Protein backbone atom coordinates (compact mmCIF):
# COMPACT_ATOMS: atom_id res chain seq x y z
CA UNK A 1 0.00 0.00 0.00
CA UNK A 2 1.64 3.31 -1.02
CA UNK A 3 1.86 5.64 1.90
CA UNK A 4 3.81 8.56 3.26
CA UNK A 5 2.68 8.32 6.82
CA UNK A 6 2.74 5.21 8.94
CA UNK A 7 -0.85 4.09 9.31
CA UNK A 8 -1.78 4.98 12.85
CA UNK A 9 -5.19 5.39 14.37
CA UNK A 10 -5.93 9.00 15.22
CA UNK A 11 -9.39 9.41 16.58
CA UNK A 12 -11.68 6.94 18.18
CA UNK A 13 -14.96 6.06 16.49
CA UNK A 14 -16.34 5.14 19.92
CA UNK A 15 -17.82 8.61 20.18
CA UNK A 16 -20.01 7.98 17.12
CA UNK A 17 -23.57 6.92 17.82
CA UNK A 18 -24.13 4.52 14.92
CA UNK A 19 -27.90 4.81 15.43
CA UNK A 20 -27.90 8.55 14.76
CA UNK A 21 -25.52 8.95 11.88
CA UNK A 22 -27.37 11.22 9.46
CA UNK A 23 -25.41 12.74 6.58
CA UNK A 24 -22.65 15.03 7.76
CA UNK A 25 -18.86 15.01 7.83
CA UNK A 26 -17.38 12.84 10.56
CA UNK A 27 -13.62 13.13 10.13
CA UNK A 28 -11.91 9.77 9.64
CA UNK A 29 -8.24 8.78 9.79
CA UNK A 30 -6.91 8.96 6.24
CA UNK A 31 -7.50 10.46 2.84
CA UNK A 32 -6.01 9.51 -0.49
CA UNK A 33 -4.11 12.06 -2.58
CA UNK A 34 -2.66 11.83 -6.08
CA UNK A 35 -1.36 14.71 -8.19
CA UNK A 36 -2.06 14.84 -11.91
CA UNK A 37 -0.77 17.13 -14.63
CA UNK A 38 -2.57 18.29 -17.75
CA UNK A 39 -0.24 16.23 -19.92
CA UNK A 40 -1.31 13.05 -18.16
CA UNK A 41 1.51 12.58 -15.61
CA UNK A 42 0.42 11.10 -12.29
CA UNK A 43 2.24 11.09 -8.97
CA UNK A 44 2.13 7.94 -6.89
CA UNK A 45 -1.09 7.96 -4.87
CA UNK A 46 -0.65 8.32 -1.12
CA UNK A 47 -2.71 7.83 1.98
CA UNK A 48 -2.15 10.75 4.29
CA UNK A 49 -3.77 11.83 7.47
CA UNK A 50 -7.19 13.44 6.99
CA UNK A 51 -6.57 17.17 7.32
CA UNK A 52 -7.16 20.53 5.69
CA UNK A 53 -5.52 20.98 2.31
CA UNK A 54 -3.41 23.91 1.16
CA UNK A 55 -4.50 25.66 -2.03
CA UNK A 56 -3.07 28.48 -4.10
CA UNK A 57 -5.45 31.47 -3.92
CA UNK A 58 -5.02 31.43 -7.70
CA UNK A 59 -6.01 27.77 -8.13
CA UNK A 60 -8.32 26.81 -10.98
CA UNK A 61 -10.86 25.29 -8.63
CA UNK A 62 -11.18 28.41 -6.46
CA UNK A 63 -11.28 30.91 -9.30
CA UNK A 64 -12.95 29.13 -12.18
CA UNK A 65 -14.73 26.21 -10.55
CA UNK A 66 -12.61 23.51 -12.16
CA UNK A 67 -13.67 20.67 -9.92
CA UNK A 68 -15.80 17.52 -9.98
CA UNK A 69 -16.73 14.97 -7.39
CA UNK A 70 -18.16 11.52 -6.95
CA UNK A 71 -19.97 9.71 -4.18
CA UNK A 72 -20.02 6.00 -3.38
CA UNK A 73 -20.52 3.83 -0.36
CA UNK A 74 -18.84 0.91 1.40
CA UNK A 75 -21.05 -1.45 3.42
CA UNK A 76 -20.04 -3.89 6.13
CA UNK A 77 -21.60 -7.33 5.79
CA UNK A 78 -22.66 -9.43 8.75
CA UNK A 79 -19.53 -11.59 8.30
CA UNK A 80 -17.35 -8.45 8.60
CA UNK A 81 -16.38 -8.26 4.93
CA UNK A 82 -16.72 -4.89 3.21
CA UNK A 83 -18.47 -4.29 -0.12
CA UNK A 84 -18.33 -1.42 -2.59
CA UNK A 85 -21.19 -0.87 -5.01
CA UNK A 86 -20.26 -0.49 -8.71
CA UNK A 87 -17.15 1.63 -8.09
CA UNK A 88 -16.06 1.34 -11.72
CA UNK A 89 -19.23 3.24 -12.69
CA UNK A 90 -18.10 6.16 -10.55
CA UNK A 91 -14.67 5.99 -12.18
CA UNK A 92 -16.19 6.15 -15.65
CA UNK A 93 -18.56 8.99 -14.73
CA UNK A 94 -15.66 10.89 -13.24
CA UNK A 95 -13.72 10.50 -16.48
CA UNK A 96 -16.68 11.89 -18.46
CA UNK A 97 -16.97 14.85 -16.10
CA UNK A 98 -13.23 15.49 -16.18
CA UNK A 99 -13.27 15.57 -20.00
CA UNK A 100 -16.11 18.10 -19.94
CA UNK A 101 -14.09 20.36 -17.62
CA UNK A 102 -10.77 19.81 -19.46
CA UNK A 103 -9.19 17.99 -16.55
CA UNK A 104 -7.15 14.77 -16.38
CA UNK A 105 -8.68 11.84 -14.51
CA UNK A 106 -7.50 8.55 -13.03
CA UNK A 107 -7.95 5.31 -14.95
CA UNK A 108 -10.73 3.00 -13.75
CA UNK A 109 -8.10 0.81 -12.12
CA UNK A 110 -6.39 3.74 -10.37
CA UNK A 111 -9.75 4.99 -9.15
CA UNK A 112 -10.97 1.66 -7.79
CA UNK A 113 -7.61 0.87 -6.18
CA UNK A 114 -7.58 4.30 -4.52
CA UNK A 115 -11.13 3.83 -3.21
CA UNK A 116 -10.26 0.41 -1.79
CA UNK A 117 -7.14 1.78 -0.08
CA UNK A 118 -9.14 4.64 1.42
CA UNK A 119 -11.74 2.24 2.81
CA UNK A 120 -9.12 -0.10 4.24
CA UNK A 121 -7.24 2.76 5.90
CA UNK A 122 -10.50 3.92 7.49
CA UNK A 123 -11.90 0.46 8.14
CA UNK A 124 -12.89 1.12 11.72
CA UNK A 125 -15.20 3.92 10.54
CA UNK A 126 -17.37 1.62 8.41
CA UNK A 127 -20.63 1.44 10.38
CA UNK A 128 -21.84 -1.93 11.69
CA UNK A 129 -24.15 -3.89 9.34
CA UNK A 130 -27.54 -2.22 8.96
CA UNK A 131 -26.45 1.04 10.61
CA UNK A 132 -25.21 2.91 7.56
CA UNK A 133 -22.18 2.99 5.31
CA UNK A 134 -18.82 4.62 4.79
CA UNK A 135 -19.40 7.36 2.21
CA UNK A 136 -16.43 7.95 -0.10
CA UNK A 137 -16.11 11.35 -1.71
CA UNK A 138 -13.58 11.34 -4.58
CA UNK A 139 -12.70 14.80 -5.91
CA UNK A 140 -10.67 16.14 -8.81
CA UNK A 141 -9.63 19.70 -8.14
CA UNK A 142 -7.76 22.11 -10.38
CA UNK A 143 -5.16 22.93 -7.73
CA UNK A 144 -2.57 24.55 -10.02
CA UNK A 145 -2.42 28.36 -10.19
CA UNK A 146 -4.04 30.05 -13.17
CA UNK A 147 -5.04 33.67 -13.64
CA UNK A 148 -6.27 34.02 -17.22
CA UNK A 149 -9.18 31.72 -17.99
CA UNK A 150 -7.56 28.40 -18.90
CA UNK A 151 -7.29 24.88 -17.52
CA UNK A 152 -5.16 24.75 -14.37
CA UNK A 153 -1.68 23.25 -14.91
CA UNK A 154 -1.98 20.81 -11.98
CA UNK A 155 -4.77 18.71 -10.44
CA UNK A 156 -5.35 16.80 -7.24
CA UNK A 157 -7.33 13.59 -7.08
CA UNK A 158 -8.42 13.23 -3.48
CA UNK A 159 -10.70 10.81 -1.66
CA UNK A 160 -12.01 11.36 1.83
CA UNK A 161 -14.44 9.24 3.80
CA UNK A 162 -17.18 9.73 6.36
CA UNK A 163 -19.58 7.29 8.00
CA UNK A 164 -23.16 8.17 7.03
CA UNK A 165 -26.71 7.08 7.71
CA UNK A 166 -29.88 8.47 6.16
CA UNK A 167 -29.57 11.55 3.95
CA UNK A 168 -32.88 13.20 4.76
CA UNK A 169 -33.86 14.11 8.30
CA UNK A 170 -37.06 12.14 7.63
CA UNK A 171 -34.90 8.98 7.75
CA UNK A 172 -36.65 6.30 5.74
CA UNK A 173 -40.02 8.09 6.04
CA UNK A 174 -41.49 9.79 2.96
CA UNK A 175 -40.04 13.16 1.93
CA UNK A 176 -41.92 16.21 0.66
CA UNK A 177 -40.83 18.00 -2.52
CA UNK A 178 -41.46 21.54 -3.73
CA UNK A 179 -41.51 22.16 -7.50
CA UNK A 180 -39.29 25.17 -8.16
CA UNK A 181 -40.67 27.77 -10.61
CA UNK A 182 -38.08 30.52 -10.54
CA UNK A 183 -34.67 28.83 -10.66
CA UNK A 184 -33.34 26.08 -12.88
CA UNK A 185 -30.61 23.59 -12.18
CA UNK A 186 -29.23 23.09 -15.68
CA UNK A 187 -29.49 24.25 -19.29
CA UNK A 188 -28.98 22.34 -22.56
CA UNK A 189 -25.32 22.42 -23.52
CA UNK A 190 -24.31 23.17 -19.93
CA UNK A 191 -22.87 20.85 -17.30
CA UNK A 192 -26.01 19.48 -15.63
CA UNK A 193 -25.19 15.97 -16.80
CA UNK A 194 -21.82 15.76 -15.04
CA UNK A 195 -20.95 15.98 -11.37
CA UNK A 196 -19.20 19.32 -11.44
CA UNK A 197 -19.00 21.16 -8.11
CA UNK A 198 -20.60 24.16 -9.78
CA UNK A 199 -23.91 22.34 -10.29
CA UNK A 200 -24.64 22.37 -6.58
CA UNK A 201 -24.20 25.90 -5.19
CA UNK A 202 -26.82 27.33 -7.61
CA UNK A 203 -29.35 24.91 -6.11
CA UNK A 204 -28.93 26.24 -2.59
CA UNK A 205 -31.11 29.33 -2.85
CA UNK A 206 -34.14 27.36 -3.96
CA UNK A 207 -33.37 24.58 -1.50
CA UNK A 208 -33.04 26.87 1.53
CA UNK A 209 -36.28 28.63 0.61
CA UNK A 210 -38.12 25.32 0.30
CA UNK A 211 -36.60 23.88 3.48
CA UNK A 212 -37.65 26.97 5.42
CA UNK A 213 -41.21 26.07 4.44
CA UNK A 214 -40.77 22.50 5.68
CA UNK A 215 -39.98 20.75 2.39
CA UNK A 216 -37.23 18.15 2.15
CA UNK A 217 -35.85 19.15 -1.26
CA UNK A 218 -36.64 21.00 -4.47
CA UNK A 219 -37.70 19.46 -7.76
CA UNK A 220 -36.38 21.33 -10.80
CA UNK A 221 -38.11 21.73 -14.14
CA UNK A 222 -36.40 21.98 -17.51
CA UNK A 223 -35.20 25.48 -18.34
CA UNK A 224 -36.54 25.53 -21.93
CA UNK A 225 -40.23 24.59 -21.56
CA UNK A 226 -40.37 25.10 -17.78
CA UNK A 227 -42.63 22.08 -17.76
CA UNK A 228 -40.78 18.76 -17.65
CA UNK A 229 -39.23 17.15 -14.58
CA UNK A 230 -35.46 17.22 -14.37
CA UNK A 231 -34.14 16.18 -10.96
CA UNK A 232 -34.18 17.17 -7.31
CA UNK A 233 -31.34 19.19 -5.78
CA UNK A 234 -29.66 16.05 -4.45
CA UNK A 235 -31.06 13.14 -6.46
CA UNK A 236 -32.84 11.78 -9.56
CA UNK A 237 -36.61 11.38 -9.72
CA UNK A 238 -39.00 8.60 -10.84
CA UNK A 239 -42.77 8.35 -11.05
CA UNK A 240 -44.93 5.21 -10.98
CA UNK A 241 -48.16 4.73 -12.95
CA UNK A 242 -49.53 1.23 -12.46
CA UNK A 243 -46.93 -1.16 -13.83
CA UNK A 244 -45.04 1.61 -15.61
CA UNK A 245 -42.10 3.42 -14.06
CA UNK A 246 -40.95 6.64 -15.69
CA UNK A 247 -37.87 8.79 -15.26
CA UNK A 248 -36.54 11.73 -17.30
CA UNK A 249 -33.83 10.80 -19.83
CA UNK A 250 -30.22 11.82 -19.15
CA UNK A 251 -29.64 13.97 -22.20
CA UNK A 252 -27.17 16.48 -20.79
CA UNK A 253 -29.17 18.32 -18.15
CA UNK A 254 -29.74 15.42 -15.78
CA UNK A 255 -27.08 13.56 -13.82
CA UNK A 256 -26.54 10.00 -14.93
CA UNK A 257 -27.07 8.51 -11.47
CA UNK A 258 -25.59 5.10 -10.73
CA UNK A 259 -28.46 4.34 -8.36
CA UNK A 260 -30.84 5.57 -11.09
CA UNK A 261 -29.29 3.17 -13.59
CA UNK A 262 -29.35 0.29 -11.09
CA UNK A 263 -32.99 0.92 -10.16
CA UNK A 264 -34.00 0.92 -13.84
CA UNK A 265 -32.37 -2.50 -14.24
CA UNK A 266 -33.83 -3.90 -11.00
CA UNK A 267 -37.31 -2.59 -11.88
CA UNK A 268 -37.17 -4.28 -15.29
CA UNK A 269 -36.03 -7.53 -13.61
CA UNK A 270 -39.06 -7.23 -11.31
CA UNK A 271 -41.38 -7.03 -14.33
CA UNK A 272 -42.07 -3.31 -14.44
CA UNK A 273 -42.03 -1.45 -17.73
CA UNK A 274 -39.48 1.36 -17.41
CA UNK A 275 -39.54 4.33 -19.75
CA UNK A 276 -36.97 7.10 -19.93
CA UNK A 277 -38.86 10.03 -21.42
CA UNK A 278 -39.86 13.62 -20.78
CA UNK A 279 -42.36 13.80 -17.91
CA UNK A 280 -44.57 16.91 -17.75
CA UNK A 281 -45.01 18.07 -14.15
CA UNK A 282 -48.80 17.69 -14.52
CA UNK A 283 -48.30 14.01 -15.31
CA UNK A 284 -46.34 13.56 -12.09
CA UNK A 285 -49.15 15.18 -10.11
CA UNK A 286 -51.42 12.36 -11.31
CA UNK A 287 -48.98 9.51 -10.66
CA UNK A 288 -49.50 6.73 -8.11
CA UNK A 289 -46.04 7.12 -6.63
CA UNK A 290 -43.02 9.37 -6.83
CA UNK A 291 -39.58 8.44 -5.53
CA UNK A 292 -36.04 9.74 -5.68
CA UNK A 293 -32.77 7.89 -6.13
CA UNK A 294 -29.13 8.73 -5.51
CA UNK A 295 -26.05 7.38 -3.79
CA UNK A 296 -26.65 9.53 -0.73
CA UNK A 297 -30.45 9.21 -0.64
CA UNK A 298 -30.56 5.57 -1.93
CA UNK A 299 -34.32 5.26 -2.75
CA UNK A 300 -36.43 7.91 -1.01
CA UNK A 301 -40.23 7.63 -1.18
CA UNK A 302 -41.96 10.95 -1.88
CA UNK A 303 -45.04 11.48 0.27
CA UNK A 304 -46.14 14.74 -1.32
CA UNK A 305 -45.25 17.22 -4.05
CA UNK A 306 -46.33 20.86 -4.03
CA UNK A 307 -46.60 22.72 -7.33
CA UNK A 308 -48.10 26.18 -7.79
CA UNK A 309 -49.63 25.97 -4.31
CA UNK A 310 -51.28 22.60 -4.97
CA UNK A 311 -50.16 19.73 -2.75
CA UNK A 312 -50.64 16.17 -3.97
CA UNK A 313 -50.01 13.07 -1.87
CA UNK A 314 -48.66 9.79 -3.20
CA UNK A 315 -48.74 6.18 -2.15
CA UNK A 316 -45.88 5.14 0.13
CA UNK A 317 -45.34 2.30 2.61
CA UNK A 318 -44.39 -1.35 2.63
CA UNK A 319 -46.57 -2.26 -0.37
CA UNK A 320 -45.23 0.54 -2.58
CA UNK A 321 -43.07 0.02 -5.64
CA UNK A 322 -40.43 2.32 -4.15
CA UNK A 323 -40.16 0.12 -1.05
CA UNK A 324 -39.87 -3.02 -3.12
CA UNK A 325 -37.08 -1.50 -5.22
CA UNK A 326 -35.36 -0.11 -2.10
CA UNK A 327 -35.35 -3.53 -0.46
CA UNK A 328 -34.01 -5.25 -3.57
CA UNK A 329 -31.26 -2.70 -4.14
CA UNK A 330 -30.08 -2.46 -0.53
CA UNK A 331 -30.08 -6.25 -0.12
CA UNK A 332 -27.54 -6.41 -2.95
CA UNK A 333 -25.52 -3.43 -1.69
CA UNK A 334 -25.29 -4.85 1.85
CA UNK A 335 -24.51 -8.36 0.70
CA UNK A 336 -27.68 -9.76 2.26
CA UNK A 337 -28.62 -11.61 -0.93
CA UNK A 338 -26.46 -13.15 -3.62
CA UNK A 339 -25.25 -10.51 -6.08
CA UNK A 340 -26.20 -12.12 -9.38
CA UNK A 341 -25.35 -8.93 -11.26
CA UNK A 342 -21.72 -8.68 -10.22
CA UNK A 343 -22.29 -5.14 -8.94
CA UNK A 344 -20.57 -5.47 -5.59
CA UNK A 345 -16.82 -5.46 -5.15
CA UNK A 346 -15.37 -7.01 -2.05
CA UNK A 347 -12.41 -5.24 -0.50
C1 LIG B 1 -24.54 11.61 -3.82
O2 LIG B 1 -25.68 11.16 -3.83
O3 LIG B 1 -23.56 10.89 -3.61
C4 LIG B 1 -24.29 13.02 -4.11
O5 LIG B 1 -23.19 13.33 -4.43
C6 LIG B 1 -25.38 14.01 -3.95
C7 LIG B 1 -25.00 15.05 -2.94
C8 LIG B 1 -25.96 16.21 -3.01
C9 LIG B 1 -24.97 14.49 -1.55
pLDDT of residue 8: 56
To the query of whether residue 340 is one of the catalytic residues in this protein, the response is no
> What residue owns the CA closest to ligand 1's atom 6?
234
pLDDT of residue 14: 78
pLDDT of residue 7: 55
pLDDT of residue 10: 59
With the most atoms of ligand 1 within 8 angstroms of its CB, the residue from 23, 234, 293 to mutate is 234
With the most atoms of ligand 1 within 8 angstroms of its CB, the residue from 296, 299, 300, 329 to mutate is 296
Going from the Cα of 296 to the center of ligand 1, the distance in angstroms, rounded, reads 5
Nearest to 133 by CA among 296, 341, 338: 296
> What residue owns the CA closest to ligand 1's atom 7?
234
With the most atoms of ligand 1 within 8 angstroms of its CB, the residue from 69, 200, 295, 333 to mutate is 295
Residues with a CB atom less than 6 Å from ligand 1: 71, 234, 294-296
Q: Give the ligand 1 atom nearest the CA of 295.
A: 2
Going from the Cα of 7 to the center of ligand 1, the distance in angstroms, rounded, reads 29
pLDDT of residue 337: 95
CB atoms within 10 A of CB 189: 8
Q: Give the ligand 1 atom nearest the CA of 233.
A: 8
ipTM above threshold 0.95 = yes
Catalytic residue among 46, 195, 315, 340: 195
Consecutive sets of 10 residues in the chain, 347 residues long: mean pLDDT of each? Answer: 50 83 94 94 94 96 98 96 98 98 97 98 95 97 98 98 94 94 95 96 96 97 97 97 97 96 98 98 98 98 97 96 97 96 97
Distance CA 245, CA 268 (A): 9
Q: What share of the chain is helix, strand, coil (3-state, %, to 5)?
A: 25, 30, 45
Amino acid sequence: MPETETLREYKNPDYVNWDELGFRTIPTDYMYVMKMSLDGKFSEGKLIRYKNIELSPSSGVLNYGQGIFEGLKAYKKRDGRILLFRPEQNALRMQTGAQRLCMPSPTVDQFVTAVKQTVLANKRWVPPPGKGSLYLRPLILGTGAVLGLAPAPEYTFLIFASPVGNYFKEGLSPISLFVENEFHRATPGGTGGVKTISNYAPVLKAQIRAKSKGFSDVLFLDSVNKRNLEEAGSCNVFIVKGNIILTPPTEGTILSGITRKSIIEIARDCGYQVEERAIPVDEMMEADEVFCTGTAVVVAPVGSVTYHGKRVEFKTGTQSVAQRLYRTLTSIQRGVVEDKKGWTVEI
